[in-house]
Amino acid sequence: MRIGELATLAGTSTRALRHYESLGLLTARRDHRGHRTYDENDLRMLRQIRTLQDFGFGLEETRPFVECLRAGFPSGDVCPASLATYRAKLAELDSIIDELTRVRQSVRERLSQAEATAADAPPGCAFAPPPAPPA
Protein backbone atom coordinates (compact mmCIF):
# COMPACT_ATOMS: atom_id res chain seq x y z
CA MET A 1 0.00 0.00 0.00
CA ARG A 2 1.09 3.58 -0.55
CA ILE A 3 1.63 6.22 2.11
CA GLY A 4 -1.79 7.87 1.76
CA GLU A 5 -3.63 4.59 2.17
CA LEU A 6 -1.54 3.65 5.20
CA ALA A 7 -2.17 7.06 6.77
CA THR A 8 -5.92 6.67 6.28
CA LEU A 9 -5.99 3.15 7.71
CA ALA A 10 -3.85 4.17 10.69
CA GLY A 11 -5.84 7.34 11.36
CA THR A 12 -2.87 9.65 10.97
CA SER A 13 -1.33 11.94 8.37
CA THR A 14 1.30 11.30 5.72
CA ARG A 15 3.38 13.98 7.42
CA ALA A 16 3.31 11.98 10.67
CA LEU A 17 4.34 8.85 8.77
CA ARG A 18 7.30 10.65 7.26
CA HIS A 19 8.24 11.87 10.74
CA TYR A 20 8.06 8.31 12.12
CA GLU A 21 10.24 7.24 9.23
CA SER A 22 12.80 9.96 10.02
CA LEU A 23 12.95 8.65 13.60
CA GLY A 24 13.42 5.08 12.41
CA LEU A 25 10.10 3.91 13.82
CA LEU A 26 8.75 3.13 10.37
CA THR A 27 10.69 1.81 7.41
CA ALA A 28 9.38 2.42 3.91
CA ARG A 29 10.23 0.25 0.98
CA ARG A 30 10.27 1.76 -2.48
CA ASP A 31 8.54 0.48 -5.59
CA HIS A 32 10.00 0.66 -9.08
CA ARG A 33 8.85 4.30 -9.36
CA GLY A 34 10.45 5.27 -6.06
CA HIS A 35 7.13 5.58 -4.19
CA ARG A 36 7.00 4.49 -0.57
CA THR A 37 5.22 1.17 -0.05
CA TYR A 38 4.03 -0.44 3.17
CA ASP A 39 2.40 -3.67 4.26
CA GLU A 40 0.17 -4.99 7.05
CA ASN A 41 3.12 -5.23 9.46
CA ASP A 42 3.67 -1.50 9.07
CA LEU A 43 0.00 -0.91 9.83
CA ARG A 44 0.30 -3.03 13.00
CA MET A 45 3.32 -0.98 14.08
CA LEU A 46 1.47 2.26 13.47
CA ARG A 47 -1.55 1.07 15.41
CA GLN A 48 0.74 0.12 18.29
CA ILE A 49 2.42 3.55 18.18
CA ARG A 50 -0.94 5.37 18.05
CA THR A 51 -2.36 3.35 20.95
CA LEU A 52 0.68 4.06 23.08
CA GLN A 53 0.52 7.75 22.20
CA ASP A 54 -3.13 7.75 23.28
CA PHE A 55 -1.89 6.40 26.63
CA GLY A 56 0.55 9.31 26.92
CA PHE A 57 3.73 7.61 25.69
CA GLY A 58 6.19 9.76 23.79
CA LEU A 59 7.38 8.60 20.39
CA GLU A 60 10.74 7.50 21.74
CA GLU A 61 8.97 5.41 24.37
CA THR A 62 7.24 3.46 21.59
CA ARG A 63 10.54 2.22 20.15
CA PRO A 64 10.77 -1.00 22.24
CA PHE A 65 7.28 -2.00 21.12
CA VAL A 66 8.11 -1.35 17.46
CA GLU A 67 11.33 -3.35 17.78
CA CYS A 68 9.38 -6.20 19.36
CA LEU A 69 7.01 -6.27 16.38
CA ARG A 70 9.94 -6.09 13.97
CA ALA A 71 11.45 -9.11 15.72
CA GLY A 72 8.38 -11.07 14.61
CA PHE A 73 6.30 -11.14 17.78
CA PRO A 74 2.54 -10.92 17.22
CA SER A 75 2.31 -8.12 19.80
CA GLY A 76 4.73 -5.37 20.69
CA ASP A 77 3.82 -5.78 24.36
CA VAL A 78 5.59 -9.05 25.11
CA CYS A 79 9.31 -8.27 24.89
CA PRO A 80 11.33 -7.49 28.03
CA ALA A 81 12.10 -3.93 26.88
CA SER A 82 8.40 -3.28 26.28
CA LEU A 83 7.51 -4.57 29.72
CA ALA A 84 10.20 -2.36 31.26
CA THR A 85 8.79 0.64 29.38
CA TYR A 86 5.30 -0.14 30.68
CA ARG A 87 6.68 -0.35 34.23
CA ALA A 88 8.51 2.97 33.86
CA LYS A 89 5.40 4.69 32.47
CA LEU A 90 3.28 3.28 35.28
CA ALA A 91 5.76 4.57 37.87
CA GLU A 92 5.71 7.98 36.16
CA LEU A 93 1.90 8.03 36.18
CA ASP A 94 1.79 6.98 39.85
CA SER A 95 4.15 9.85 40.70
CA ILE A 96 1.99 12.34 38.81
CA ILE A 97 -1.16 11.03 40.48
CA ASP A 98 0.50 11.33 43.91
CA GLU A 99 1.53 14.92 43.18
CA LEU A 100 -1.94 15.82 41.89
CA THR A 101 -3.49 14.26 44.99
CA ARG A 102 -1.27 16.47 47.18
CA VAL A 103 -2.19 19.55 45.13
CA ARG A 104 -5.89 18.70 45.33
CA GLN A 105 -5.64 18.37 49.11
CA SER A 106 -3.86 21.74 49.36
CA VAL A 107 -6.52 23.41 47.23
CA ARG A 108 -9.25 21.78 49.31
CA GLU A 109 -7.64 23.11 52.52
CA ARG A 110 -7.24 26.61 51.04
CA LEU A 111 -10.87 26.60 49.93
CA SER A 112 -11.99 25.53 53.39
CA GLN A 113 -9.94 28.34 54.97
CA ALA A 114 -11.26 30.87 52.44
CA GLU A 115 -14.86 29.81 53.03
CA ALA A 116 -14.38 30.15 56.79
CA THR A 117 -12.91 33.64 56.32
CA ALA A 118 -15.71 34.62 53.94
CA ALA A 119 -18.29 33.36 56.43
CA ASP A 120 -16.90 35.83 59.00
CA ALA A 121 -17.25 38.79 56.62
CA PRO A 122 -19.94 41.32 57.47
CA PRO A 123 -23.28 40.90 55.65
CA GLY A 124 -23.43 42.68 52.34
CA CYS A 125 -19.65 42.82 52.08
CA ALA A 126 -18.68 42.81 48.44
CA PHE A 127 -15.25 41.60 47.62
CA ALA A 128 -13.68 43.61 44.86
CA PRO A 129 -11.33 41.90 42.45
CA PRO A 130 -7.67 42.62 43.09
CA PRO A 131 -6.25 45.63 41.30
CA ALA A 132 -4.60 44.98 37.97
CA PRO A 133 -0.79 45.00 38.07
CA PRO A 134 0.82 48.20 36.76
CA ALA A 135 1.62 48.14 33.05
Q: 20-46 pLDDT, tens per residue?
A: 999 999 998 999 998 889 999 999 999
Residue 121 within any structural domain of the chain: no
Residue 33 lies in a domain: yes
Among 41, 38, 40, 16, smallest CA distance to 29 is for: 38
Is residue 71 in a domain? yes
Q: Higher-confidence residue: 125 or 57?
A: 57
Rounded to whole angstroms, the Cα distance separating 112 from 106 reads 10
Residue 74 falls inside a structural domain: yes
pLDDT (0 to 100) of residue 55:
94
pLDDT number for residue 118: 79
Cα 130 from Cα 18, distance rounded (Å): 50
Percent of the chain whose predicted confidence (pLDDT) is above 70: 91
Which range of residues forms the domain containing residue 49?
3-114
- Strand 36-37 versus strand 29-30 pairing type: antiparallel
The Cα–Cα gap between 33 and 31 comes to 5
Query: Quick one: DSSP state of residue 126?
Result: P
Count of domains for the chain: 1
Q: What is the pLDDT of residues 79-101, one digit of tens each?
A: 999 999 999 999 999 999 999 99
